[in-house]
Amino acid sequence: MKKYKVYLGSCAEYSAEKVTALINDAFEKGVFTTKPFGKVVIKPNLVMAHPKVATESFTRKEVIEGILNFVNHHNEVEKISICEKSGLGVTTSTMFRHAGYYRLQKKYPVKCCAMEERKKARIVLNRGRIHNHLTISREMADRDFLVFAPKLKSNVLSHAISGALKLNIGTIDGRERMHHHHRDLPDKIVDILEIANPDLIVTDGIRMAFGGNQMTQRGTGLGVIIIADNAVAHDMVCARLLNLEPFAVDHINNAIERGYGPDRFEDIDIIGDFEIEKSQAITSRLDLGFMPVESYKSNLKIQSGTPCCIGGCQGIFLDWLHMIRDRKPTLLKKLPVLTVLIGRIDEKVSDKKILLVGDCACASNIGSYKKIIRIRGCPPSHKRIVWDMLVNFFILNPLVRPSLIIDGFVLYPFKTFKGWVVNLRFKPLWKNRSNAK
């Protein structure tokens, strides 16, 4: 008998009732066997939600409502929290509002918890390769049952796929989030699994987002809800849905090697009324945007040196270029003519204008120049790149909007300060609460 089960349920449009019905069906078919109980945490993908520029890249409210219907139905459930930490240095509370999650608070006994404002707990890892300990929200640390609600989408920072494993980056915050967010990203993703391994995964594949920046990319109808209780098996099936080879994805391989899931696709029993081939007929026609950054067509003369960090400088700059193409394609043609170095280049480089992206590029062998801009960091954050390109080259990235600037540069520091005050008391190092399956 196959040990792992993944359920693919047809769902042509956003309907909470339909999502609940599919979860119930998956439960009856034995896709997951543990019922929600105690303190339940739902972790969505809310990296960014914005009515104009980030419309497709987050888990839709109807899917969360479908999960809430299911969870709330169980008498053993004491408390339900939706926990998230958004990306790009914007406030999670604004993203909750844009995504419509606050409306769910009026209908269900649930609380939306923005990690940067909440009490936190530090957890010791037993099997971490990058992290010895991680700081997560207190709700996440105290939970009894964890539901992941990823968005099915492509992501150029993680081998073109964002599923349940990659969702875990939004479990952590602050310096820990960008620590080793480079070529070690696969190891980092799997480290987090030790303290946030889902009991149930319900993925929004009704519309998938593809081909661009992880926040601003556009979407297409796929019509599927994916349900599982093992993150590795789930992501292997998602890779196939996206027409990718699961074993070519580093973080999937890494998770398999560390014993978190099946090491053969044949060990996964795929259940439900949605055929993988139906998805592949759509996704095989899509460009997922995963490419070497130096091959991106624009006025920029990009040179990629060493190391090549698809989860770091190379990936983040590629993501920045995609962001422009997603929402302001005409701006691509107007980018200034300049040499961009990403990673360390040892041969001497000279040009009128040179841009160095990341600490390794800043250590390159630079010859003559008229203007040189250094964006430091390992890697620099998205926010830093967007801001530095605006200030130095007057590039008005699509995310440079008054509301987002106020949110990122005024509200966000205020919210993180609030979180700092809330956590002023001594934080003990908690014992490990590994729930590896």
DSSP state string for 225-275: EEEES-HHHHHHHHHHHTT--GGG-HHHHHHHHTTSS-SSGGGEEEESS--
359 binds ligand SF4 (CB under 6 A): yes
356 binds ligand SF4 (CB under 6 A): no
379 binds ligand SF4 (CB under 6 A): yes
Amino acid at site 315: G
Q: Rounding to the nearest 10 degrees, give the CA dihedral for residues 153, 158, 159, 162.
A: -20
Tokens of 250: 């580093």
Which CB atom, from 24 or from 381, has the smaller least distance to ligand SF4? 381
360 binds ligand SF4 (CB under 6 A): yes
89 binds ligand SF4 (CB under 6 A): no
Which CB atom, from 100 or from 307, has the smaller least distance to ligand SF4? 307
How far apart (Å, rounded) are the C-alpha atoms in residues 93 and 118? 11
Which CB atom, from 160 or from 185, has the smaller least distance to ligand SF4? 185
The least distance separating ligand SF4 from the CB of residue 356, rounded to whole angstroms, comes to 10
DSSP code of residue 409: I
358 binds ligand SF4 (CB under 6 A): yes
With CA atoms as reference, report the closest residue to 284 among 327, 245, 340.
245
**In this structure, which long-range contacts are made by residues 21-26, counting pairs with CB atoms below 8 Å and at least 24 apart in sequence?**
22/66, 22/225, 22/227, 22/272, 23/66, 23/67, 23/70, 23/202, 23/227, 24/70, 25/272, 26/227, 26/271, 26/272
Bridge partners (DSSP) listed for residue 246: none
The least distance separating ligand SF4 from the CB of residue 176, rounded to whole angstroms, comes to 16
309 binds ligand SF4 (CB under 6 A): yes
Q: Choose the stretch contacting ligand SF4; rule: CB under 6 A; options: 56-64, 119-127, 243-251, 309-317.
A: 309-317
378 binds ligand SF4 (CB under 6 A): yes
Other CB atoms within 10 Å distance of the CB of residue 368: 10
315 binds ligand SF4 (CB under 6 A): no
Q: Choose the stretch contacting ligand SF4; rule: CB under 6 A; options: 37-45, 283-291, 320-328, 357-365.
A: 357-365
66, 89, 262, 312: residue in contact with ligand SF4 (rule CB under 6 A): 312
DSSP state string for 74-123: -TTEEEEEEEE--STT--HHHHHHHHTHHHHHHHSSEEEEEGGGS-EEEE
Tokens of 364: 């390159």
Q: Choose the stretch contacting ligand SF4; rule: CB under 6 A; options: 170-178, 201-209, 231-239, 304-312.
A: 304-312
Q: Choose the stretch contacting ligand SF4; rule: CB under 6 A; options: 150-158, 160-168, 305-313, 421-429.
A: 305-313
Query: Is the bond preceding residue 44 a cis peptide, omega within 30 degrees?
Result: no
156 binds ligand SF4 (CB under 6 A): no
Which CB atom, from 307 or from 336, has the smaller least distance to ligand SF4? 307
**Mask of contacts with ligand SF4, 237-276, x by CB under 6 A?**
----------------------------------------
Q: Which residues would be at the binding site for ligand SF4 (CB under 6 A)? A: 182, 307, 309, 312-313, 343, 358-360, 378-379
